[in-house]
Structure formats: C-alpha cells, structure tokens
Amino acid sequence: MGAGRCGRCATRCGRGPAVNPEQGLPPLSLYVHLPWCIRKCPYCDFNSHTLRDELPADDYIQRLWEDLEQDLPLVWGRTVHTIYFGGGTPSLFSAAHFDRLLAGFRARLDLAPGAEITLEANPGTIEHDSFQAYREAGINRVSLGVQSFHDPQLQALGRIHGGDDVQRALASLQSAGLDNFNIDLMFGLPAQSTEQACDDVRMALAADPAHISYYHLTLEPNTAFAVNPPPLPGEERCWEMQDAGSALLEAAGFAQYELSAWARPERQSRHNLNYWRYGDYLGIGAGAHGKLSLPANGEIQRLIKVRHPRRYLAGERLAKTHVLQPAER
C-alpha cells in the first residue's frame, strides 16, 4: 500500500525539519507494523509474510507493548500526534484487537487530542460492517489498498480481491461515516491502457475520498515480479498515464503534496507529512524503523527492529541502531 511507509524503510524523505516550538524537537509519530498477509503480492517488497496458521494476534500485541516500553525512555514527556498501522495487511486484526492496542498505547504514551490514527486495509479482508467497528475502536483514517477497480489488472497483480470487493469496502467506509480515507491506485499495470488507468482514477474520485495515492508500478528487487517480469506498458505510455491521471485529480480539486500523494484541501495525511518534514517517529513491530531526536546529546538515532515475525515473537527486538552523522541528516 501507498502512504505512510517510512516506518518500514530507512530512507530519509525529508524536506527540512518540522520543529515543535514547545520542545525544540520535531513532532513525534508512532508507526506499528503488522506483518501478515493472506498472500504476498508478487510486486511487494515490504516486510510482509503469508499467514500460514492462525493469526497470533494476542502474542503479537503483547510483544508490541513490550517493544514500545523499551523505547519509551527515548521519548519521555513527548506527545504522539499520529499513529499509523501498516503492513502486511493490518485489517487481518479485528476491531477488538485495535481497541486493546490503542488502550495500551494511551496508557503508555501522551496521545494528542484529535490524533490521526490510520489503518491500512485490504478490500479482500473486510466484512460489510467492519469499518464501523474499527471506527468505534478509535481508527479515524483508513488507507484502502484498491490498486485497480478492474478484475484483469487485479488478477495480474496477484491481489486477493476483485472490483466487487472494492465497491463493498467503499460502501462500508461510507456507511461507517469514515470520510477521511485514502485510496491506493497503481498505474503502469500489465496490459493496462491509458484509458483504463484514467477509468480507475474516475472510479476512485466517484467514491469521494479525502486522499488518493497514485503511483507507478515498479519492479523491485527480491520480488516475484523481478524474477519473472510481466509484460508492462512502455515508458512513454506510463508517462501518459501519469499525466492524464494527474490532470483528472487536479480537475477534481486534489493537490499533489508528495511524489504520489494527492489530497483535498487540508486533508493531507498528517503522518505522511511528519515523515516528509523529517519529523520523529517511533517504530514498533517486526521490521519497523524508527527515527528519534535525542535532546540530551543532540543525536538523531535510527532504530531497526528484527525483521522476521517468528524471531520478533520469540523475544528478539533490535536488529540495528545507528546514530546519524551531520552529513546524513
């Protein structure tokens, strides 16, 4: 899925510091990685793992709390402004699980009033009334991994959902009153025409989202598509798709604020913006990355958690820590 992924990678995407005048520190976010999927998509290079047995939700939640508690001394007295549940497919976890998680976070952290709390969801894992339950649990923003509304493209991408599942998920979002949602769309898909890419944008706009992520399918190393590449549109055709889709988004009142992120006025992802402005973020969960400013010595530290969920559940935690030198900031 698109927005909010910096807690999963070590890449700086900042455009200058976002200073919190109260503390002289950047704003603080929390990224929570939930690594399981029903099936790993052939283009995906994120830390996601096919769920082969029962979801170990209770054990994983306990490990998340333990992970967070070991990072707390690095952020004492600081307020968390956004929470982002990424994956994997976080919507494999139930609303009751998120209710427990958020209660545990509130007990351990100073969570800002009105904090943005985003859940990544897959249309293939959502029941008709689940979004209402997620909202009642405290989720107030959803990022829906649609990718396309057309079954041939979805099948080529190895997605577990179809176009009908997308429409049901969008109807569930709307009936739950969750109007702050993102739709992930990809272009440059196998056998996709420019008109089909534009049709995806039009169908997304018809759902009246606050935010659309419109990004180009790329073949990343260590993915099934990298080993067996599908036939993809050429570079010129992909530029056409990008330009035509961007024109539709602009005409609908969306403004581009990141490479692939488009939002209605005042509806940008606050979590994304904190990454983009080089803010701080705690990262908990298997493979999560964090970046924290340490006022005691002026250092900026990156923390990388153990990648494999089996090792993480067994009690391993930190894979690597790294102090950023001035030239790296």
Q: What is the pLDDT of residues 297-325, one digit of tens each?
A: 889 999 999 999 999 999 999 999 999 87
Mean pLDDT of 50-79: 95
Could you tell me the domains of the chain? 5-328 (3.80.30.20)
Mean pLDDT of 145-170: 92
Mean model confidence pLDDT for the chain: 90
pLDDT band at 21 (very low <50, low <70, confident <90, very high): very low
pLDDT at 18: 54
Task: Using the Cα atoms of residue 158, residue 135, residue 49 and residue 187 in order, give the sign of their dihedral.
Answer: positive
Token pair for 186? 């990809």
Residue 20: how many other CB atoms lie within 10 Å: 17
Helix (H, G, I), strand (E, B) or coil at 320: strand
Cβ burial 212-224 (10 Å sphere, 16+ → b, else e): bbbbbbeeeeebe
The amino acid that residue 306 corresponds to is: V
pLDDT at 23: 61
pLDDT at 225: 86
